[in-house]
Structure 1
Amino acid sequence: MAPYGSSSPLHNAAQVLLRALDLRGLEPPLGASPSLLTPHVGPEEEARLVTLATRLGLDELETAILATSVLVELVPPVGEAVAVLAEGAAGPLPTPWALELIAAADGHAPVACREALAGTGTLRATGALRIPPAHTFSGSPIVLARAVGDAVRGSTSADPVGRAALVRVDPPGAAFGRTAVAEHLRDLLAERENDTTVVVRGAEADRLCAAATPGGALVAVADTLADGEGLADFSIAAALEGRLPVVRGLGALPVDRRESVVRQILHATPRPVVWERGGDDAAVLGDQTVVRVPIPAMGVEEATRAWCDATGGTTAAGEVAHLRLTYDEIRQAVRVARAGAREGSPITGRALRSAATAISSRGLDSLAETLPRGPRWEDIVLAPRTQDGLRAVDAFLRNHDRLRSTPAYDRYFAGRGLTALFAGPPGTGKTLAARVAAGEADRDVFRVDLSTLYSRWVGEMEKQLDRLFAAADGTNSVLFFDEADVVFGKRGDAGDGGAADRYANLGTAYLLQRIETFDGVVILATNFLSNVDPAFMRRVDVLVDFPEPDAATRLRLWSQMLDGAGIDDLPAEDVAMIAERFELTGGSIRNCVVAAVLFAADEGRRVETLGLMRAIALEHRKLGRLVLAADFGAYHRLLPGSAEAHG
């Protein structure tokens, strides 16, 4: 038995090395004796190695192998002794053959040493030891990870954070909520099989993992772990600090080495949890045995507690509890609102809402157009059947958090949001209605033109959509997709039916998949409902029809827009005649009012009926319609270009 005991693995390793040399009839170099290790190895180094071995889960032989490798780095004469034993095969570095001789001197069978050094063994799975490819395994040099040497020395000069971009996440406070989900994750981690990968999906995966582990979480970007040193830094730091290792960004790995890197990461020890943010991350996992843990957004009660905790109990917390922000975003919004408040003044609900809205929608600005919030419902003119459909969308937006706690939501929505289709000719108010609905619910609306997003390059559309939904996930924003018939048109209506169309169908299927897993409101708009594939219509929760306005609706539109422009002295019979005679949409009526105001300003007079007729004629020409005397009556001959119109 070694005289130093299990608490002195480094001194034990030096003694066993000398025994191995003696058994081979070899003389040790000066300085390799355990009694001469004191300047390099003391109780602190021994204790750090014992701690590391315990947290990595090493057995007695694995600890002895690691101790020998550490000694080679800490004490140069030990490296010289190993070189003598290995007959100089790898210089001062140990080789599998040399370690087998050392293990045999301590009573271990050579096969046990080879198993400890196998690629699936803990020493190499953690990255603590690496064996570069060589012609013969037995003569390959064994390389100690920098993180191990740093840990045993107690060095802080080479913090792994700088090498592997590690982020430490401490357990959140009780205000984080989601206690049941954190307990479920904790149970999964304790009971999972060796070949099972736990995947946590959502914007707050790092916080949930930290809540499920007493020591918190350690998060790394997959690309920084692609080399052996980065993975070793990650695994060893997690083990030493007692943190749960979490990997994000698997989908961003280069395609040419993705499979090998993912396999290496997922089989590391301790086995990391995967943070899944988008479709690319899920696809990379392939045929892995996966258990997914989705993170629900905070309910209103949990959000209220989080806002109160972050603000110190302000009464304004109740005004923003309905906004869907993460735990970290709530705290950041409070810091922003507090920075903008006067010193000594309480934070107002308005300041919190402003900060929360800005933080919630960041990241979407570069991917979609932010639409201005519209007027109120009572300020716009819509057909009765349009209003009925919009009431359903409006109710979902305003009551989303309350609905989430009802059995009907779990049964019929199953964790997804609401999909609405706005259908009608151009200018009938589809975009305006989306702005109003979002604004009434205190949400931003982001417009995405599917005709520009559509691509026949394989995978390009999917990448754009993945970025979009990843940015929108967990926010309070409404996604408004224009030109939906470009993607959801009837199959066979466009294209040659060949490979390009098949790729387009893949993009359509992917968009459907992302819409159905998006826990928010998606509004799709089309000018041509008849062009939309009936198969897609079955996925729509609410269809809102925007018909061309009838005469009565047109009169309301003209009256409202003229009043809004300060034009209140036109003869009522003229306005009624215009509404009856000219079949224009709300968008076209707006254009006419704007043009009439411009004409009047240029001529230095108030808007008159003739100016309005000129504006209508201009809009007719833009729409490709004829400017006929039968429509314009006595005003026709006064219009610019009337002779041309007669001709």
Structure 2
Amino acid sequence: MSGRLLTNRLAALRARVVSLVEAGSADDPTAGDPLRGLYVTRETALRAVEARPTEEVPGTGWDELVPGDPDDRLPALARRFGLDAVDARILLTALAPDVDRAFEPLFGYLNDDVGRRRATVALALGLAGTGPHEPAARDRFHPGAPLCAGGLLVVEDEDRPLPGRALRVPERVVAHLLGDDGRLDAELLGAGVELLPPAPDGHAAPADPSAGLAERVLAAAPVAVHLRERSPGAADAVAAALCASGRPVLRMRAGADGARVAPALLREARLRGAVLVVEPLPREAGALVRALAAPDVTLVLAGPDAPDPRWAPEAELLALEAPAAATGSAELWRAELGPEEPAFDLAEAVAPYRLGGGLIRRAARSARALAAFEGTELTAAHVQRGARLMSAPLLDSHARRVRPAVGFADLVLPEEPLRLLRELTGRARHRDRVLGDWRLRTGGGRGRGVVALFAGESGTGKTLGAEVVAGELGLDLYVVDLSSVVDKYVGETEKNLERIFAEVDRTDCVLLFDEADAVFGKRSEVRSSHDRYANLESAYLLQRLEAFDGIAVLTTNLRANIDEAFTRRLDLVVDFPFPDPEQRLSLWRACLAGAPQAPDVADAVADCAKEFELAGGAIRSAAVTAGYLAAGRGGPVTGDDVRAGARREYLKAGRLLPGAGAPWAP
């Protein structure tokens, strides 16, 4: 329908152009010359000199901008881009050859050049009832005028005088006026721009905290908003809520060429009446924000940093905190996973994840696809794997990722440490309810993080305990590489730690500081510059833990080395005791459970557990040694292999072997 209406307008324009051609050829001495347009005769030159501007000829209705038919897109386009009737005439004249080839020879004749079949500035102004002799008419082709600033018109041939410069309308504008909005502008396809159409159901999930913000943004539109994200996906959630409210959204992943495609992006937003969502913002975002800040387009910017007033000094940029995605958003997950009730406890499975509506949608889609690929019913593992993909932190340069493969059944500990570890997982799941909904968090900018200290001798299971906690929560474990964090230059260690804390704050994982006393050590009396800067590192960490929002575990072999000020900021302190003979026996059996065993292994394991005082880590190393001895021999693990492994661990530790007359003595 839009194409037919545009064709009708162009038919009226064509009639006017034909009448102009006929009027021009009536007194043109070269009208019948077959070479007309290939050269300029003396008579033509003299006639051009004697020509004078004519009075405006009344239009025939082709430039009418009063909205009539709802499918007529020209009045709506003129309203969105601030065009008047003369601008509309110029635009229609410029796009005429792109829709109807009959205009090409007509324009070629009027341009007195068979090779120039597009409208020129002089021709378009003449058809609009004015001419290049009027300053106001020439100003319509200024880069800041609505036609050019809005990206509706391109004035070509920069080396020619303005009246003779050709006019071109981008294909995207032509397609829109013809009623085609199916595809994005080709210029935007390679710039990370995505079109999110309005949601078909027209409503957001009831538990989505972004729905209220989206409603306020639309009520205040047009408006420019900056959302400071505390966790990833806030902009995705707002974009989804805007779509659910019935508005199309153009979302751009800001990159190096963001400012370059900004004019095309603004034009696309105006053509569709869409909201612009840009995230994440680069640190140097001034040029991009200035290019996108328009008084007639709703713009939502998102990023982890605070907005800079210098980004857009002439635009009023509202700075807001992005709505935090609460942990345990089971209603959002249930809405995205489908109407069927899962066969597992969905609320418990997703409790540790702080994902917004947009990321939950993508994670749920990934979980369903993974379950379909494996040909099984949807499980908690599928959901947690999809969530981990959406919230993986960028810590590869400072930490080592460990995918948990153990559970509480793999831990051999007394009841008290096990109870504290289970309490730690409960704190991670329910922190938003307790600290947020129940308002049990004090002020002072304190975060909702969970920080625990695991203390005990080497090999007693501290690292394994952190892996168990991460596995129980369905999160990845990231072990901080101290060699990449600690720096000899003043201030660099704090910068590296800040990168780690900031990334963990906004994502979902368990952070492990192994041998934490290297960075969380006691402050000392200042006797040298080294002491002063070492104390600065501790002071920074004390302040940073107050505002921490993630989950962190510190481990140490010497609890006395940890500054007492850190202890107050810890949620839990779990002591990992040295295993007694009964626990050592359980550890030996667990470590050798998967290996083929000779009949005498049971007695050897019982003897070693009783006589060799080894921690869990040493027992595991001894079991591995026994396995290698058996594999090299090509048989099962024997009692002698077990005793040899235990003896080797004693010798590695520099300890005397027990009982010279014992069967394991050398």
Q: TM-score range by the shorter chain?
A: 0.5 to 0.7
1:480 aligns with 2:512: yes
Q: Pairwise CA RMSD of aligned residues? A: 5.9
Change (3 A) 1:170 1:48: closer
Name which of 38, 41, 47 aligns with 2:72.
Answer: 47
Q: Is the 8 A contact 2:140 2:147 kept in 1?
A: no
Distance in 2 between residues matched to 1:133 and 1:448, nearest whole Å = 61
Equivalent residue runs for 1:26-65 within 5 Å = 26=51, 47-56=72-81, 58=83, 63=88
Counterpart in the other structure of 1:205: 235
Is residue 94–residue 124 contact of structure 2 (8 Å, CA) maintained in 1?
Answer: no
Looking at structure 2, the residues matched to 438 and 379 of structure 1 have their Cα atoms a distance apart, in angstroms, of: 14
Q: Which has the larger radius of gyration?
A: 2
Shift of 1:155: 5.7
* Contact residue 584 and residue 615 of structure 2 kept, 8 A: no
> Is 2:591 the partner of 1:561?
no
**Structure 2 unaligned residues grouped into runs of 5+:** 25-46, 594-600
Q: Which residue of 1 aligns with 2:384?
A: 357
1:188 equivalent to 2:217? Answer: yes
* 1:329–1:270 distance in 2 versus 1, CA, 3 Å: same
Contact in 1 for aligned 2:155/2:166 (Cα 8 Å): yes
Aligned to 1:260: 287
1:312 is aligned to 2:339: yes
Q: Does 1:220 align with 2:252?
A: yes
Q: Deviations over 1:56-92 (max 9, x none)?
A: 45556665665565458765589779989xxxxx997
Superposed counterparts of 1:155-554, under 5 Å: 159-160=184-185, 162=189, 164-172=191-199, 173=201, 174=203, 176-178=205-207, 181-191=210-220, 197=226, 202-203=232-233, 205-212=235-242, 213-223=245-255, 226=258, 228=260, 230-251=261-282, 259-267=286-294, 270-276=297-303, 278=304, 289-297=317-325, 300=328, 303-304=330-331, 306-307=333-334, 310-314=337-341, 316=343, 318-319=345-346, 322-323=349-350, 324=353, 326-338=360-372, 340-341=374-375, 347=377, 351-362=378-389, 364=392, 367=396, 368-376=400-408, 379-382=411-414, 384=416, 386-387=417-418, 389-400=420-431, 403=434, 406-408=437-439, 416-441=448-473, 443-451=474-482, 453-454=484-485, 473=506, 475=508, 477-484=509-516, 516=547, 518=549, 520-527=550-557, 537=566, 540-546=569-575, 549-550=577-578, 553-554=579-580
TM-score (norm 1): 0.68
- Say if 1:588 and 1:619, in contact at 8 Å, map to a contact too: yes
SS of equivalent residue, structure 1 residue 316: coil
Q: How far does residue 268 in structure 1 lie from its aligned partner after superposition?
A: 7.9
Q: For 2:414 and 2:471, how far apart are their aligned partners in 1? A: 17
Q: CA deviation at 1:433?
A: 0.8
Percent identical pairs in the alignment equals: 21
How many angstroms apart in 2 are the aligned matches of 1:333 and 1:529?
42
- Structure 1 unaligned blocks of 5 or more: 85-89, 641-647
String of CA shifts for 1:254-309, please: whole Å, max 9, x gaps: x6xx5423421344852421243x55xx5788666442342443665x62464266
**Contact 1:199/1:290 (8 A) holds in 2:** no
> Is contact 1:164–1:225 with CA below 8 Å preserved after alignment?
yes
Contact 2:344 2:380 in 1 (8 A): no
SS at match of 1:292: strand
**Given that residues 623 and 642 in structure 2 are in contact (C-alpha distance below 8 angstroms), is that contact kept between their aligned partners in structure 1?**
yes
Larger displacement relative to structure 2 (522-531 or 136-145): 136-145
* Residue number in structure 2 paired with 1:645: none
Between the aligned partners of 2:664 and 2:292, the Cα distance in structure 1 is: 79
Q: Residue deviations 1:498-536, cap 9 Å, x none? A: 9xx89x979x97998799464x4233445565666777x
Task: Name the aligned partner's letter for residue 186 of structure 1.
Answer: E
In structure 1, what residue type is equivalent to 2:583?
L
Please identify which structure carries the higher helix content: 1
In the alignment, what sits opposite 1:152? 177
Q: How many residues align?
A: 583
- Code of the aligned partner of 2:267: I
Tell me the secondary structure at the aligned position of residue 603 of structure 2.
coil
- Answer yes or no: is 1:585 the counterpart of 2:615: yes
- From 589, 614, 619, give the equivalent of 2:649: 619
Question: Aligned with 2:439: secondary structure?
Answer: helix
Check 1:58–1:516 CA distance in 2 against 1; reply closer, same or farther (3 A cut). Answer: farther
The DSSP-based 3-state class of the residue aligned with 1:167 is strand
In the aligned structure 1, how far is the partner of 2:286 from the partner of 2:426?
46
The normalised TM-score by structure 2 is: 0.66
In the alignment, the residues of structure 2 paired with residue 467 and residue 127 of structure 1 have an alpha-carbon distance, to the nearest angstrom, of 43
- Hey, what does 1:595 align to over in structure 2? 625
